[in-house]
């Protein structure tokens, strides 16, 4: 099961019920924190997450609402005696700031620490785990900014239970079939094609995070057809001039982006603090994307994704 958890759904000015941007993705036993606005460590505790169990931190860009919470979070990790490795992906300009604040404390002396600078010009695979990858891609904001893709690797094909019960394949046969091989019945000489004895694996989970950006078509094939697209929508269409000048999107533009990427679901967040209610964002976005596929982000939103349940319990 994969979890998407919104910790902060606001933007530059945090509100009591709408903290600055941050979210945590739980996938295959790993915890990925995306952006780290002011108060992120409070939100982590508030919604039941361990500060010391984060594996990756992805910082989209160096505007304060997306990284000011990082310093307090790292300080707490040090105070709590963290020993687990931590990798941060961010703009290289963050390195001297961390060095000034923490001096030698992030040198690996206290816990294994790795800082990897982002590339703001190209699509890149930045982490490769056994069952999923994390990628970055450039966005169009007032400072260098990356979006992120978290995507499961394609699982092996499922072997039909009826085939196993009838033919009793060996362990090696099963391994071969899962990798796309056919099956030869040694008793009869009958060859069974792979597509006759297997079913397609579940569609891989994919999550695209579009941080602050002006509206544009994003033509990287790797991020097309995501299960979930999280995209910022700081303003409504009535503020289109402000959105363009600050290189943000309106709800209408966010919905058009979701349509262009062929997302299954759209999560809208990063709302400007001037909006006390966000219901109008849904109304505006639903003109361009199916209303029942739009989710308005709020602090504490949790989305569980489980696409692995097979009725006949194939192997």
Q: Tell me which residues are annotated as active site.
A: 65
Tokens 């604040």 belong to which residue?
A: 101
d(CA 264, CA 249): 20
The residues near 182 (Cβ < 8 Å, ≥ 6 apart) are: 191, 192, 193, 194
The residues near 195 (Cβ < 8 Å, ≥ 6 apart) are: none
Tokens of 12: 């530059």
Q: Quick one: CA dihedral 165, 171, 172, 174, positive or negative?
A: positive
Q: Quick one: CA dihedral 81, 87, 89, 93, positive or negative?
A: positive
180 class by beta-carbon count within 10 Å (0-12 exposed, 13-18 middle, 19+ buried): exposed
Tokens of 167: 């033919």
Tokens of 108: 């690996």
Tokens 């489980």 belong to which residue?
A: 306
d(CA 115, CA 56): 10
At residue 160, φ and ψ (nearest 5 deg) are -65, 135
Strand partners, 18: 15
Chain-centroid distance of CA 78 in Å reads 26
At residue 69, φ and ψ (nearest 5 deg) are -80, -10
Tokens of 244: 């363009």
219, 122 in Cβ contact below 8 A?
no
């Amino acid at each position: 099961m994969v979890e998407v958890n919104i910790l902060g759904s606001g933007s530059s000015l945090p509100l009591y019920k709408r903290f600055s941007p941050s979210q945590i993705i739980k996938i295959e036993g790993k915890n990925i924190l995306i952006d780290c606005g002011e108060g992120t460590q409070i939100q982590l505790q508030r919604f039941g997450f361990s500060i010391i169990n984060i594996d990756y931190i992805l910082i989209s860009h160096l505007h304060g609402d997306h990284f000011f919470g990082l310093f307090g979070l790292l300080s707490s990790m040090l105070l709590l005696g963290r020993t687990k490795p931590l990798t941060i992906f961010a703009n290289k300009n963050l390195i001297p700031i961390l060095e000034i604040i923490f001096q030698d404390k992030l040198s690996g002396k206290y816990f294994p620490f790795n800082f990897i600078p982002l590339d703001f010009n190209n699509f890149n695979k930045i982490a490769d785990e056994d069952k999923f990858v994390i990628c970055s891609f450039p966005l169009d904001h007032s400072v260098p900014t990356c979006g992120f893709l978290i995507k499961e690797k394609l699982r092996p094909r499922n072997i039909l239970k009826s085939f196993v019960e009838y033919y009793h394949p060996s362990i090696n046969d099963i391994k071969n079939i899962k990798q796309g091989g056919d099956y030869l019945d040694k008793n009869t000489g009958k060859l069974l094609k792979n597509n006759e004895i297997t079913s397609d694996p579940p569609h891989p989970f994919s999550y695209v995070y579009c941080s602050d950006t002006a509206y544009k078509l994003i033509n990287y094939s790797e991020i097309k057809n995501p299960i979930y697209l999280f995209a910022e929508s700081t303003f409504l269409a009535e503020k289109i001039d402000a959105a363009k000048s600050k290189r943000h999107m309106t709800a209408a533009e966010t919905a058009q982006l979701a349509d262009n990427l062929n997302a299954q679901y759209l999560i809208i967040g990063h709302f400007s603090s001037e909006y006390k209610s966000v219901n109008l964002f849904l109304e505006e976005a639903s003109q361009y994307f199916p209303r029942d596929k739009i989710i308005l982000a709020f602090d504490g939103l949790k989305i569980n994704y489980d696409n692995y349940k097979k009725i006949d319990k194939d192997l």
